Amino acid sequence: MDLKNMKRETKITYAEPCKNTGSHIQPLYQTSTFVFDNAEQGAARFAGEEPGYIYSRLGNPTVRCLEEKMALLEEGEDATVYGSGMAAVSASILAFVEQGDHIVAQQCLYGCTHSFLSEIIKKWGIEVTFVNDASNPENFKNAMRPNTKIVYIESPANPVMQLTDIKACADIAHENNARLIIDNTYMTPYLQRPLNLGADIVLHSATKYLNGHGDVVAGILVGSKEDMDTIRMTTQKDLGGITSPFDAWLMQRGIKTLAIRMKEHEKNAMEVAKFLEAHPKVKTIFYPGLPSHPQHQLAKEQADGFGGMIAFELHGGLEAGKVLMNNIEVFHLAVSLGTVDSLIQHPASMTHSPVPEEDRRAAGITDGLVRVSVGIENAEDLIDALDRALKLV
């Protein structure tokens, strides 16, 4: 995505002066409620007869500014913002299903997303079919039922970096009158815009690359105005998983440097991946930017780059991974991803520990898998740190 040549860049990248004060930075509206001029105005706003703000759970100017920017970035009509990625996941799904409905989802998902779909949603009498091999669209097609309302995917999948053909899954969903929801956290709209490939709703854990600085927990949905209005007036309003104005303000700060950061993340990830691929102690590496990745061609077709996430296995399995993680420098041993700092973690015992072992293995998440979020530090420093730690394995 060439933000430099986008006609709408000034609405995305640069600060616009506040029309009321001329403030260079978008003001922070840190308020819980908004004052009406009179009783009639309050009634009119609640009835939807007059535009304006009522209460920050129902809308806030700082949050709205972020929503507008995200809709532009993902080339959607509208967006809604949440207090966490999981609040966005649950809001997007619960808004469009009811008792007796069916969901098709890929097996390899973020651990808490998998738990939500495999455990919590069953309490509402909703069935879920998990697709083990999400690289083959036919598996999604074969899992569809007359009562399927949602197809849910990640591409690349967290953490095994398996890609799913977004357009093919969108076609399958629409042929069956279902919506395609995709988690685009790993790629961001800078590298991949699923709405243009047919997806109905794009989801982000904005905690990650969109904010980019490791100091906010948030989620974002982007889609049609009709779908966002439905979510806004149901699962967002009544379940209340909103973000704070301050966090929305911080995320706008992060988005200003998204293009610069993603270029560095990807450049560093490619160098680190090449180093790991050639290292004798590395058994397998998963990075779509490498020609050896089985879906390298698909990655080039449906995205503008390969991102900053890497997964790999060492010949020594879990024990070797522990030695690596306990001795590495520069990288931080921590979960989450997409911050300017490089992070390393063990999915089976950390981010994906909520997933039963049988399901983890079916998704390709072995006990020896290590996940790395490559930051924007000097690539030579990252490679040197890995090399020193690997010598101890």
Instruction: Tell me the average confidence (pLDDT) per consecutive run of 10 residues in the chain, 393 residues long.
Output: 37 49 87 96 94 95 96 97 98 98 96 95 96 96 98 96 97 98 98 98 98 97 98 96 97 97 98 98 97 97 98 92 94 96 91 84 85 98 97 95
Which residues lie below 8 Å from residue 152, measured CB to CB, with a gap of 6+? 93, 103, 104, 105, 106, 109, 113, 117, 181, 182, 183
The catalytic residue among 208, 232, 261, 371 is 208
pLDDT at 18: 61
Catalytic (active site) residue 261: no
Catalytic (active site) residue 304: no
Catalytic (active site) residue 110: yes
pTM: 0.93
Residue 243's SS3 state is coil
Instruction: Measure the CA–CA gap between 128 and 116, rounded to whole angstroms.
Output: 10
The catalytic residue among 45, 78, 82, 110 is 110
Catalytic (active site) residue 387: no
The catalytic residue among 53, 57, 267, 367 is 57
**Quick one: three-class SS letters along 121-188?**
HHHHCCEEEEECCCCCHHHHHHHCCCCEEEEEEECCCCCCCCCCCHHHHHHHHHHCCCEEEEECCCCH
The catalytic residue among 101, 165, 183, 227 is 183
pLDDT at 19: 66
Domains of the chain in start order, with CATH, are 9-256 (3.40.640.10), 258-390 (3.90.1150.10)
pLDDT at 68: 96
